[in-house]
Amino acid sequence: MAHSNNLKFIPFQALVLILICFWSEFCTSRDTITSTQSIKDPEIIVSVGKTFKLGFFSPVNTTNRYVGILDNIPVTTAVWVANRDKPLNDSSGIVTISEGGNLVILNGQKEVIWSSNVSNPVANSSAQLLDTGNLVLRDNSSGRIIWESFQHPSNSFLQMMRLGTDAKKGEMTLLTSWKSPSDPSIGSFSAGVDPLSIPQFFVWNGSHPYWRSGPWNGQVFIGVPVMYKLYSNGFNLVDDKKGTVDLTFSYANESIVSYIFLNNEGTLQEKYRFVAKEDWTVPWWGPENECDVYGKCGPFGSCNSLDSPICTCLNGFEPKHMEEWSRGNWSSGCIRKTPLQCERNNTINEKVKEDGFLKLERVKVPDFEVWSPGLHDSCGSLCLNNCSCIAYSFYIGIGCMQWSGNLIDIQKFPDGGADVYIRVAYSELDEEKNMKTVLAIAISIGSITIAICAYYSWRWMAKQRGSMFKRVSSEVHTKVHCRQKPLLISFNIRKEAEK
């Protein structure tokens, strides 16, 4: 009797279980592929924490089948694709471990269409999908990792992944864009960290730079304004100064799923969401507007997306080809109006005054910066004393940066950015000199006002000294009265400087 009693409610539970098994991979989920446990379209494997899955999928507008690592939510995104250039045209695909120990994809005819290509694989290996989204091929006997998807990224940069350059091996790990949303094969854009003097993140179109992050200051890339807002401490860059750099990122909050991806139009975006939610937030890194495009205004040009036209020459420079420039073809950029004193062959008779610097505020610093050991107050004089130095900037976390040659890819930001000092001939400093005169006059007027004010209040207080009035109130009155004028003047100075 007890037995039949139990049967009364078991069927309901069994039904639920069966349903769960149907709707998810709950019952069969495993995270490993071995030579005996392969997966066949549409089977999948799921990482232990269920954050990522690996299996067959078709991008939008195509029936081609690809094997990829997918975010484990209903609206899936492929963060890694194996057979990018060799889609399966039907659902006969199999992912398994080959006799040689490589991870392989076989088509219906049992032909290898993709392989992990480890040159000396081991006989005894298995592939496991980790919760980080990394697919690792291990030697079972030793546990050693012989291949991992993190070292062969597609278009996505995941937390815990390393993106960088290994000088010893002569290798650079790059993201590569898809050709189109329905074709994961390798498109024309790639992205990665360039280990130049100060590391920068780049997007390249073919071999040409297409976007640049600005240099790394120890926390963020200083030319990516959104980074200041989003990630104060999530990124880490290790630079051995010998050409080996490694960029990683991870959020302290483990309930955030996030990755950076390069879309098929060459735009670098971040996607993030909370584990419990399914909708992504997608802030842009760049290029978002025309000015983000590398070298938009040519050498010595500066780009401001809020201006029309967007390109202007730096102060002291003029368009190289006026007619071309006014047509909106800025690629030739600008040239100096007056040669630098230090570049001229000065005869003894011809005395030319020393060059100076014009300040450029709140910009993405130009490309090809060179780090110099200069300190905050010596950075400028070091530059002035070296004729090949044509600009400098001091930035906290980086130090003294100097430039020689062309200044390219300068972009004006509404806020943030760095101040760059551009070397120009003395005669080009006129504007600045005028402004200094205005400042000097304003300051002297201010000082005179203060002096007069002080004189009167001293006289007034002297008068009061004998009287029985409250001293406190008179002091307060005096202070307020005397502060007004100088304040107004300093406001005017700032307006003047803005022009």
Site residues for ligand NAG, window 76-95 (CB under 6 A)? 89
Cβ distance to ligand NAG smaller for residue 123 or 440:
123
Cα distances (angstroms) measured from residue 56 to each of 98, 124, 166: 18, 25, 32
Cβ distance to ligand NAG smaller for residue 185 or 188:
188
Q: Which range binds ligand NAG by CB under 6 A, 49-57, 308-316, 323-331, 458-466?
A: 323-331
Cβ distance to ligand NAG smaller for residue 141 or 326:
141
Cβ distance to ligand NAG smaller for residue 130 or 389:
389
Give the containing element (helix H, strand E) for 438.
Answer: helix 430-466
Cα distances (angstroms) measured from residue 48 to each of 93, 138, 253, 499: 24, 17, 19, 61
**Binding residue (CB under 6 A) for ligand NAG from 404, 449, 457, 474:** 404
- Could you tell me the smallest distance in angstroms from the CB atom of residue 485 to ligand NAG? 46
Q: Which range binds ligand NAG by CB under 6 A, 43-51, 227-235, 383-391, 429-437?
A: 383-391
Q: Which range binds ligand NAG by CB under 6 A, 48-56, 69-77, 107-115, 349-357?
A: 107-115
Cβ distance to ligand NAG smaller for residue 274 or 456:
274
- Note whether 20 binds ligand NAG by CB under 6 A: no
- Note whether 278 binds ligand NAG by CB under 6 A: no
**Binding residue (CB under 6 A) for ligand NAG from 389, 422, 424, 453:** 389
- Note whether 253 binds ligand NAG by CB under 6 A: yes
CA dist., res. 262 & res. 190, Å (int)? 8
- The site for ligand NAG, by CB under 6 A, has a size of 36
- Note whether 185 binds ligand NAG by CB under 6 A: no
Which DSSP category does 55 fall into? E
- Note whether 244 binds ligand NAG by CB under 6 A: no
- Note whether 344 binds ligand NAG by CB under 6 A: yes
- Note whether 115 binds ligand NAG by CB under 6 A: yes
- Note whether 62 binds ligand NAG by CB under 6 A: no
- Note whether 444 binds ligand NAG by CB under 6 A: no
Cβ distance to ligand NAG smaller for residue 45 or 237:
45
**Binding residue (CB under 6 A) for ligand NAG from 24, 141, 236, 346:** 141
Which DSSP category does 221 fall into? B
**Binding residue (CB under 6 A) for ligand NAG from 29, 51, 62, 386:** 386
**Binding residue (CB under 6 A) for ligand NAG from 181, 243, 309, 397:** 181
Cβ distance to ligand NAG smaller for residue 289 or 464:
289
- Note whether 117 binds ligand NAG by CB under 6 A: yes
**Binding residue (CB under 6 A) for ligand NAG from 72, 96, 107, 149:** 107
Q: List interacting residues with ligand NAG (CB under 6 A).
A: 32, 34-35, 60-61, 89, 107, 114-115, 117, 123-124, 126, 140-141, 181-182, 188, 205-206, 253, 255, 266, 274, 324, 329, 331-332, 344-345, 370, 386, 388-389, 402, 404
